[in-house]
Structure formats: C-alpha cells, structure tokens
Amino acid sequence: MMLRKLLLTPTSRRALSNGFFFSSRNPTPSPPLPPAPWRSLGSPLFFSTSEQAEGEPSNSASSTISIDRSGLYNPPEHSHEQSSDSELVKHLKGIIKFRGGPISVAEYMEEVLTNPKAGFYINRDVFGAQGDFITSPEVSQMFGEMVGVWAMCLWEQMGQPKDVNLVELGPGRGTLMADLLHGASKFKNFTESLHVHMVECSPALQQLQRKTLKCIDKADTSENAENAESSVISTLAGNPVSWHASLEQVPSGLPTIIIAHEFYDALPVHQFQKASRGWCEKMVDVQEDSSFRFVLSPQPTPSNLYLLKRFKWAAPEEIANLEQVEVCPKGMDLTQKISKIISAYGGGALIIDYGLNGVVSESLQAIRKHKFVDILDDPGSADLSAYVDFPAIKYSAEEVSEDVSVYGPMTQSQFLSALGINFRVEALLQNCTDEQAESLRTGYWRLVGDGEAPFWEGPDDQVPIGMGTRYLAMAIVNKKQGVPVPFQ
Ligand SMILES: C[S@@+](CC[C@H](N)C(=O)[O-])C[C@H]1O[C@@H](n2cnc3c(N)ncnc32)[C@H](O)[C@@H]1O
C-alpha cells in the first residue's frame, strides 16, 4: 500500500532558536424507469423488482410504474431502536435519503472533512503523536524555514515590493508560518512587507494558529480604525494576520505569495471506474443494514466533464490501461483562482504535497490514529486524503492565463536540498543538546530521505518513513519574474 502522510512520530519536534541563513539556491409519472440503476462494485447490488406506485389502482396496468427502490435507503418508519449513528453519519444518510440516491465520493469526502458542525478538521487538533497524522512542518522547524527561504527569494525576484499578501492555504497548527516568520525575522525588509492571510475552515484550528503565531490584538485608536485591514498582529515578526474561510475572501490588489502544503490532498476527489457502459462514477450509498457502501453510476454524471478535460491533458498511452481514475475539480478551480491572482498582481504559489506527476488512478485513503482504516468506516473520525495530480494543476493554471509559468514538480528532497537544508541542519547542530541533535538528524532525514530509515534502532512499528521522494513541489509564478528558485 502506498504510504502518504506520516503515520508515526517517534521523535518529538524541538525548536532551536537561531534565525536562519540565507541561501540563494526550492453534482411525472412516466414510462418505466431503467432497471437496476445502481450497481455495486464487482457484484450486482439490486434485484430487479417492479413495485406498484403508491396511490395507483392495482388493476390498471397502464397506471403501474415500475420503480426499482430496492437500493434506496428506507429505514423502518416506526422503529423504536435508538440510533448509535454520529451526527455526521445521520447527516450523510439524510442527504442520501433526501436525494433518493447515492452521493458522489467527492461530496462524501467534503462532508466528512469540512462539514461545519462535525467535519474531521472542524473541532479539533488532528496533528501529531496524539492526533491522527503528522506533517512536515511538525517534523522539523527546518521545513518552514526552507519555505521561508523560497518565499524570500521569490520576493527578491518580484522586485522587493513593500506590501505583499502572504497567503497560506490550510495552515493546520500554524507551525509552517511560525517557522517561516521566525526564521526570516532578521530580514526586516522582507518581513515588514508581509500581510499574513490564513485560509482555514476550522474555527478550532484558527484559534490554534493564533496561539502558534503568538498573536495579540492591536488597539487601533486611529481615525481609520474601522477600515483597518487587521488588528491582529503576530509578535513573531510584527506582521498583521487575518483569517478567511476561502481564498476568495482574501483582499486582492497586492502582489501575492501563496503557500499550499498538504492542502490539495484534502480537496474532494471524484472517482471513476471503467465499466462496459463507459466511465462510471463511484458513489456512496446506504445499504439495508444501514451501513455505507460504494455503488457505480448507471450513466455519466456531470462530473464526467472534468474526467474528459483531464483526459485531454494526458497522452493516449497514459490512459489506455487505466481502470480507475480520480479527478479533483475543486483543485482545478482553486488553481485557476491562484493563477488569476498571480497573473494580475504578481507573485507566485508553492504547492507541496504527496502526489504523482501523472493521472491518479485510485489513491483515496482514510487514516485514524496513525493507522489506515476503511474509507466508509465511522466517517468524521478519520482523515481522508488523495494523491495530488500535479499535471492537472499545471494545465489548470496555464489554461486561464498566459502570464504565468509553472515549474516542477520536483521531489521534496530536491527542493529542500537545493535551498540548502543540509547547511541549515549543520548550523543548528553546532549549538544544541544531544537530544536536540538526535531529533534534528532524524527530522532532517524524514524530510529528505526515502523509504524506511536505515539507522533506526527503535521499535519496528515506529520506524521513520522518508518523505523526500513521495512529496513533490511545484511553483506557479508570474512570467515577468523569471524562473523561481530552485527550479532553474
Ligand atoms: C492535511 S492538513 C495540513 C495542515 C498544514 N498545512 C500542515 O502541513 O501541517 C489540511 C489543512 O487544511 C484545512 N482545510 C481542509 N479543507 C479546507 C477547505 N476546504 N478550506 C479551508 N481549509 C481547509 C484543514 O483544516 C487543515 O488545516
């Protein structure tokens, strides 16, 4: 099985306080309805049953409507049994019941992750050893610092603008941004230009980010107080910080640097499967025992348009042998918004995620407490994520603007190494405790290494897994700025 997020975290992250060096190199009664409309994957789920429509005379053949209802979710109306379903499970079953049929995997994924009341990300901290998975910024401060080096190099190429929107999509605990700002705090011209915008759907994580960035409310007594962009300041480097539920809400008009680390993988994917009747969409339904199951659409759905679009960007030989395909329309749309901003105001975007430099077949996974679990099991209690289709990002960006260029993807290992992470780890090792040194070396290896750590002597189930080649980096920049570091 392909590993994705880091499932275990045997080492703790310890921050070292020195600032970083600068490196210049990273959706009528009529004739009979079609029989057996939905089919399960592999085996038929529905028996072709003809039922009489409610309210119609039983002896009138012409008024009989043939309806296959066997697969629709129809719980007993007078059951006195207490349901042990969570609020989210009730909500999902409600949608399926109300629609009278299954929902797409994408809609399921979106509800599971970001339902405003009970989504996986909404009410809690899911990161770290006590959470469900760990991400690069939580592994080592060096990750955020290196992204800071990239941002600063880009800012130089942008002509050192005095005011810049620094936008992070899905900032988690806020660790990456904190390390970026802290690491860059000595480079005043750069940090003073930054207006920090955190795009985060989770109120709980917004609060956590506020703490991580050591934010204070700034008392603005000026006449312009009502018009002030943000009265929240991060004391790490003195930057105004504001929070938004989506990229559209970030005020426009300034050159913009956008960071998306492990954000695209959380965007909902549609799954398709090749069938004798063509490409059918995989959907989520409720079966008679009230558990969820996958079914296939009987005919193309509106989302097939995105599948066709993706196929146009692929070589015929790439798709010839595919039996399953995932597409992420939200990722394509987001990329086009990013591309328009960069094109209009200058700047660039850095996208780092685990994914493929090609069409993604089937990658959707669920992780709970550092273990892979069934995607349909207890939704809302496990993270869902999918591999990022990097070429789809590239073609989406280029489709909407001729003023942007897309570079990469390159591996995370290449990206961090070219930015000088090896020099950074050496510098940090000069001034640290033995415990910190071990943590630094392990953290460094996890960020740039590949496979299982060869040096690991601890418990087998905690062996560090390298993220160096599974994670890829891609940049979208305004053409006028030239080739971004380190994609030259
Ligand atoms: C996998 S986590 C990555 C966190 C962080 N970037 C890191 O690397 O540690 C995904 C983040 O995106 C946020 N998120 C997911 N879907 C979102 C959406 N549609 N809009 C805004 N934030 C979203 C989650 O709340 C979480 O902060």
Kindly state whether residue 175 falls inside one of the protein's structural domains.
yes
* Lowest mean per-residue pLDDT among 136-145, 222-231, 419-428: 222-231
Structural domain count of the chain: 1
CATH code for the domain of 220: 3.40.50.12710
CA of 264 from ligand 1 middle (Å) equals 8
Kindly state whether residue 209 falls inside one of the protein's structural domains.
yes
Kindly state whether residue 372 falls inside one of the protein's structural domains.
yes
**End-to-end Cα, the chain, rounded Å:** 34
Would the pLDDT of 9 be above 60? no
DSSP string, 165-222: EEEEES-TTSHHHHHHHHHHTT-HHHHHTEEEEEE-S-HHHHHHHHHHTTEEE----S
Cβ atoms of 211 and 129 within 8 Å: the answer is no
Q: How confident is the model at residue 220 (pLDDT cuts 50, 70, 90)?
A: low
CB atoms within 10 A of CB 35: 13
Measured from the Cα of 114, ligand 1's closest atom is 16
Q: What are the pocket residues of ligand 1 if the criterion is a CB atom closer than 6 Å to any ligand atom?
A: 113-114, 121, 127, 135, 137-138, 170-172, 199-202, 205, 261-263, 266
Would the pLDDT of 186 be above 60? yes
CA of 283 from ligand 1 middle (Å) equals 24
CA of 261 from ligand 1 middle (Å) equals 8
Kindly state whether residue 14 falls inside one of the protein's structural domains.
no
Q: What is the pLDDT of residues 46-69, one digit of tens each?
A: 222 222 223 333 333 332 233 333
DSSP assignment letter at 83: P
| Rounded-to-integer distance, Cα 212 and Cα 190, Å | 21
Q: What is the pLDDT of residue 226?
A: 56
| Rounded-to-integer distance, Cα 11 and Cα 443, Å | 8
Q: What is the pLDDT of residues 132-151, one digit of tens each?
A: 888 999 999 999 999 999 99
CA of 172 from ligand 1 middle (Å) equals 5
Kindly state whether residue 81 falls inside one of the protein's structural domains.
no
| Rounded-to-integer distance, Cα 259 and Cα 145, Å | 13
| Rounded-to-integer distance, Cα 326 and Cα 171, Å | 25
3-state secondary structure of 296: strand
CA of 171 from ligand 1 middle (Å) equals 6
Kindly state whether residue 75 falls inside one of the protein's structural domains.
no
Residue 64: phi and psi, rounded to 5, are: -90, 130
Domain that holds residue 387: 136-267+327-481
Q: How confident is the model at residue 222 (pLDDT cuts 50, 70, 90)?
A: low
Mutate to test the pocket of ligand 1, among 140, 167, 263, 335 (most ligand atoms within 8 A of CB): 263
101's CB contacts (< 8 A; 6+ apart) are 38, 72, 283, 285
Kindly state whether residue 307 falls inside one of the protein's structural domains.
no
Share of the chain residues as helix, strand and coil, in percent rounded to the nearest 5: 35, 20, 45
C-alpha separations of 87 from 97, 283, 347 in Å: 15, 21, 42
